[in-house]
Amino acid sequence: MKNLRLLGYLLALSLFIYSCEGSGEERPLGEYEKGLLIINEGNFSSRDGDISHYNFNTGEVQQNIFEKVNNRPFAGVIQNLVEDGDYFYIVSNTGKVEIVNKVNFQSLGSVGGNIDDEDPELIQPRSAIVVDNKIYIADYGPFNASFANPDSFIAIVNSPLGGEVAKKAKTSSRPESFHQINNDLLIACSAARTIDVMRIGVDTVGRSIEVTGTPVRFLEDGGKLYLFTRNSSTVFFHEINKSNYSISNTTEINISRPTSKLTLGENGEAYVITSTGWPDYNDAVAKISITSGQVIDASLYEGNGFYGLGFDYFDKNIYVAENNGFQGSGTAVVINQSGTKVKTIPTGVGPSGFIFKR
Amino acid sequence: MLLISLLFIASFSKEAIQTVLNTQDTVELKLVEVYVAPLEKYSFGQTLQKIDSRDLNDFQGQTLADLLQQRSGLFLRQYGPGMLASLTLRGTSAGHNAVFWNGIPINSPSLGQADFSILPVGGFDEATIHYGSSGALYGTDAIGGAIHLNNKNTFNKGHQTRVASTLGSFGRWNQLVEYGYSNGLFSSRSRVYRNTSKNNFKFKNLARAGSPEESQSNAAIQQIGAMQDLAWNIRANQQISTSIWWNKTDRQIQPVMGSNDRDRQEDRNFRAVLDYFRFTSSTIWNIKTGVVLDELQFNNSLNKTSQFLISSDIDWTISEKLKSKSGLRLNHVIGNLSTYEAKEDRLELYQSINYLSSPSLSFSVNLRQMLFNGDFAPFTPSIGTEWTFFKNEKNKFSAHSSISKSYKIPTLNDRFWVPGGNPDLKSEESISAEIGLNHVFENNDFMISNQINLYSMWVDNWIIWLPRGSFWSPENIREVRNQGLEYFTTATRSFGEYRFEFNGSYNYTLATILNNLSENDRSQGNQLPYTPKHKAQGNLRFTYKSNSAFVNGHWIGERYINTDNISSVAPYGLLDFGLSKSLTIISKVKATVGFQVNNITNNDYQILRLRAMPGRNYLININLTL
């Protein structure tokens, strides 16, 4: 047994030496460097969020790759999977961020998740960004008695590999996502309906810009920076002036009951999930044009339990995540540009998004 | 008095031949006990298991959930030590078993289930498990079976005082004080208890990089309660008895690993029952009234339900061979939940018949119809039979069989929760069949019994909450087939003053999902989540004079965490060991001192995924009676 372990160690060492000696191009491909990563949010009660990997060449699917690689469950509800440098930041809205090696998903560090803490570092993190070797984590903060989040904050960690939260900076209610521009961080806050501006290094919110609709996230398309917001009958694309961050132009597209699930396509087009709500709860994928402000097809594809969207620039297919009512695992339905189902890929529990590594 | 006693024995006599699991208990019946109408009387063809009173002693102040998990073949979904625990009987869901306290149903009408972690051992005197579908006998919820908790009071015992203390690891301190007085006409017993635990056990936090060992926090429990039993023999043929139980459990809710929730829950339960019995030479007439008030406060959200019950039935011994019970039960339910208010009346009519065609062949037929909110619940009939087909001095072989229909009306939350409650839900329905075989061998100093049950059940209109836009809503959507095997064995062997006893059980449970919820659902043919296929349990007890020692083990197989059956929680087995000694301190003061080690091998295990459980831990019991 001991010998086997020694052998394994030597083998690993030799690989390490090999990869150090070889040039960048010759380095063997990490297991998850290419392919499709599927974010599975997981059930809130069982905290079974994890990532699935789909191999485009072989069609092979691996479920729960975090658990598989690290021999422990991820143990959270995945809100976001943020890629930065060599790392993925897996953001769990149950109060932690785990940092893994981007190509093999080996755990490298974490922020929060300490059950001992009477005063937890993270409460409900939503997204993260790395700037100047520091992690900025957008956190809703605690709910108050009326389920509002008046004490939202940005948690700042002084190492890209995690550790203790060094500072918490107050933001407007419910920060959802970041965009780095100039020497500033723009923060989309959904409850406050603002863009908060934080000067990097100063690390406090200097000002808030009010917007129409509920902010979801920032988008870059055709050299322009947009903030995507929505209400029950409209999606808004607020074009942001890149020097003073004012809203220079807004594209409004009237579409019934859009959700926050949107993905950019090509040529200024985007896809968004709509849901009829009570009593039928029929979901659809709508194709819209940000450029023309028109709905191209209000129901490119229809179904139930749509929970995430992705666009594959390689073959122009659209990936629709179906959550199967959170009763067991979900499915990624791949449709082509005419809305025809091309294939399905089994996912984990509550699939909510895709990252394409072609 | 004599009349009462005779009827008492007559009404229990069926169990003597029904199952060896409780044959011994019939012997314990004394002429001086307060009469308890046996809810399980008309149950030929099914299995009842009475929890050993020594097990109740070993678990003084702990949860009924812990007792059933460690000492029975049943599986409980426990969210941590002392945390929410729901029972799955024969592979059904948490709400698919009826729970009775002194004959009144105590499942929460809003949740449709009981939390077995807030039923402390010591809050009742006996516990009986009824295996199998028994809706015709008990009403709503009894799809997988039923649990009966009863108080057992006595006359003619004079003054009695009992002080029971348990000290244990992780800040456990359970304390109970009881005083009773009874003469031939009147009996009173009062009980107060307080059970606390800090629950700050060490565990490996799998949710953090490196899985560091941490101390559990936010898991402390404090429970207090009081109980009062009264009984009067008001005439030679009439008796009144009452029990009142108030229990408050204040808990920090142990967070799942990797989360920093700081939830707190307080459960306040008040239950009272008043029975009037009138006995004639061939009938027992019972009027029962009951009140069940439940308050559940989760953080700042308060949910209250009230049940007011009245029932009346006549248990009639028509002849040696024919017995009948006819009755009705009215239950007025009021729900004051955090998001809605609801009221309803539930009326049930029931009829039970026992027919003993010969001393070795008996039948039970049960019929029940419930009306709730003006709607008919499914009509539930059942028929069961028991046949002793071989009997000699040492051996007895018997077989039993039953077919029954059961139902569960949708809970108040299912129908009225805002948002999402679905008032159009139908009742969940089941059809179940079982057969069983029982063998008892007995000679002077050796006894062994073996029983095996096979069952098959089909449950339809199973209610599942599904996400609907921004909220979840329940639907009658799932269809499940439950099949399985239950095996029970008991053996005792005596060598003079030495005595060995073994009790064991094994349950094999298949709970198969029969339908997919949607085109892309892949759950058809899979096992229901958190329903282990295998559970085995065994208890070996050695007694010498007033000393005893036991080793107890249970092993629970893999539990899938989802209907996709991809991820599961690892199987685990736990071994416990205990010693106890009885002594007489001074003439009238008797003491029993016990010491237990639980999870001897210090296994790191979880019952539900990411819910930490404690390693090796210790308990000391001291029981004084005077």
Q: How many CB atoms lie within 10 A of CB B438?
A: 23
Virtual torsion, Cα A123, A126, A129, A134, nearest 10 deg: 0
Give which of B163, B222, B57, B201 is closest to B596, Cα–Cα. Answer: B57
Q: Do residue B567 and residue A67 have CB atoms under 8 angstroms apart?
A: yes
Q: Among residues of chain B, what percentage have pLDDT more than 90?
A: 82
Q: Do residue B520 and residue A98 have CB atoms under 8 angstroms apart?
A: no
pLDDT tens-digit series, residues B293-329: 999 999 989 999 999 999 999 999 999 999 999 999 9
Pairing label, strands A294-303, B213-215: unpaired
Q: Do residue B467 and residue A275 have CB atoms under 8 angstroms apart?
A: no
Closest CA–CA distance from residue B558 to any residue of chain A (Å): 16
| Of residues A110, A116, A120, nearest to B214 (C-beta) | A116
Cα–Cα dist A309/A2, whole Å: 48
What is the number of CB-based contacts under 8 A between chain A and chain B?
Answer: 143
A277–chain B Cβ distance below 8 A for any pair: yes
Which site among B77, B213, B259 would you substitute to test the A interface, given the most A Cβ atoms closer than 10 Å to its Cβ? B259
Cα–Cα dist A355/A53, whole Å: 10
A142–chain B Cβ distance below 8 A for any pair: no
B216–chain A Cβ distance below 8 A for any pair: yes
pLDDT at B356: 95
pLDDT at A44: 85
Residues of chain B contacting A159 with CB distance shorter than 8 Å:
none
b vs e for A56-77, b when ≥16 Cβ sit within 10 Å of the residue's Cβ?
eeeeebebbbbbebbebbbbbb
Residue B419, preceding peptide bond in cis (omega within 30° of 0): yes
pLDDT at A292: 94
A144–chain B Cβ distance below 8 A for any pair: no
Closest CA–CA distance from residue B262 to any residue of chain A (Å): 9
**pLDDT over 60 at B404, yes or no:** yes
Query: Which residues are B274's β-sheet partners?
Result: B242, B289
Cα–Cα dist B103/B316, whole Å: 18
Q: Do residue B260 and residue A324 have CB atoms under 8 angstroms apart?
A: no
Q: How many CB atoms lie within 10 A of CB B257?
A: 27
CATH superfamily of A212-358: YVTN repeat-like/Quinoprotein amine dehydrogenase (2.130.10.10)
Q: Using only C-alpha atoms, what is the Rg of chain A?
A: 21
pTM value is 0.88
Q: Do residue A346 and residue B522 have CB atoms under 8 angstroms apart?
A: yes
pLDDT tens-digit series, residues B347-394: 999 999 999 999 999 999 999 999 998 899 999 999 999 999 999 999
Confidence label for B40 from pLDDT (cuts 50, 70 and 90): low
Max CA separation in chain A (angstroms) = 68
Residues of chain B contacting A145 with CB distance shorter than 8 Å:
300
pLDDT tens-digit series, residues B247-278: 999 999 998 887 777 899 999 999 999 999 99
**pLDDT over 70 at B22, yes or no:** no
pLDDT tens-digit series, residues B469-498: 778 899 999 999 999 999 999 999 999 999
Q: For chain A, what are the domain ranges? A: 58-210, 212-358
Cα–Cα dist B384/B366, whole Å: 9
Q: Do residue A344 and residue B518 have CB atoms under 8 angstroms apart?
A: no
pLDDT tens-digit series, residues B439-448: 999 998 999 9
What is the average pLDDT across B198-221?
91
Q: How many CB atoms lie within 10 A of CB B425?
A: 18
Q: What are φ and ψ of residue A4, in 5° steps?
A: -60, -40
Q: Do residue B257 and residue A115 have CB atoms under 8 angstroms apart?
A: yes
**pLDDT over 50 at B171, yes or no:** yes
Which site among A324, A331, A344, A347 would you substitute to test the B interface, given the most B Cβ atoms closer than 10 Å to its Cβ? A324
pLDDT at A280: 76
pLDDT at A116: 55
Cβ B92 vs Cβ B114: under 8 Å = no
Q: Do residue B609 and residue A43 have CB atoms under 8 angstroms apart?
A: no
When divided into structural domains, chain B yields a total of 1
Virtual torsion, Cα B364, B369, B370, B371, nearest 10 deg: -170
Closest CA–CA distance from residue A213 to any residue of chain B (Å): 18
DSSP secondary structure string for all residues of A84-97:
ETTEEEEEETTTEE
Q: Do residue B562 and residue A278 have CB atoms under 8 angstroms apart?
A: no
In chain A, whose CA is at the least distance from the CA of B469? A277
pLDDT at A161: 94
Q: Say if the ipTM goes beyond 0.90.
A: no
Q: Do residue B258 and residue A94 have CB atoms under 8 angstroms apart?
A: yes
Residues of chain B contacting A115 with CB distance shorter than 8 Å:
205, 207, 214, 216-217, 255, 257-260
What is the average pLDDT across B447-471?
93
B514–chain A Cβ distance below 8 A for any pair: no
What is the average pLDDT across B10-18?
37
Residues of chain A contacting B563 with CB distance shorter than 8 Å:
327-328
Give which of A326, A327, A343, A332 is closest to A309, Cα–Cα. Answer: A332
| Of residues B208, B300, B566, nearest to A113 (C-beta) | B208
Amino acid A236 reads F
Range of the domain at B383: 2-625
What is the average pLDDT across B17-37?
47
What is the average pLDDT across B72-92?
95
* Regions in chain A scoring below 50 on pLDDT: 1-24
Virtual torsion, Cα A28, A30, A34, A37, nearest 10 deg: 180
Q: Do residue A329 and residue B566 have CB atoms under 8 angstroms apart?
A: yes
| DSSP secondary structure letter of residue A11 | H
Closest CA–CA distance from residue B209 to any residue of chain A (Å): 6
- What's the CATH code, domain A58-210? 2.130.10.10
